[in-house]
Amino acid sequence: MTDINAFIDEKVKNNDVFLFMKGTPDFPQCGFSGQVVQILSYLGVDYDSANVLDSMELRDGVKAYSNWPTIPQLYVKGEFIGGADITREMFQSGELQQHLQQAGIAVKQTA
């Protein structure tokens, strides 16, 4: 599983905002992934993503990497933020926007 860990590590560390999700931003394959995509799109945040449905190795690897059992998983500047519920709660409270701005990531919408 070292190859998949290296892949995950590279994505997390070389992208300011990275989302492991089911599906793609244009076609999310689950409601939770769709919620995070909507939040990031609303905020106008540039991010990259990987579809965990493309590979069982990736799907399992992401869960092991973060020690978090569910997908989607959002990372900001290499830091694991959380899944859909945490991202949504942070967004609703304004904490996500603040966290992104403090990390130097442009946010178009703040409320």
Summarize the annotated binding site for [2Fe-2S] cluster as residue ranges: 30
SS3 108: coil
CA distances from 111 to 9, 24, 44, 45, 53 (A): 31, 25, 12, 14, 32
Show binding-site residues: 30
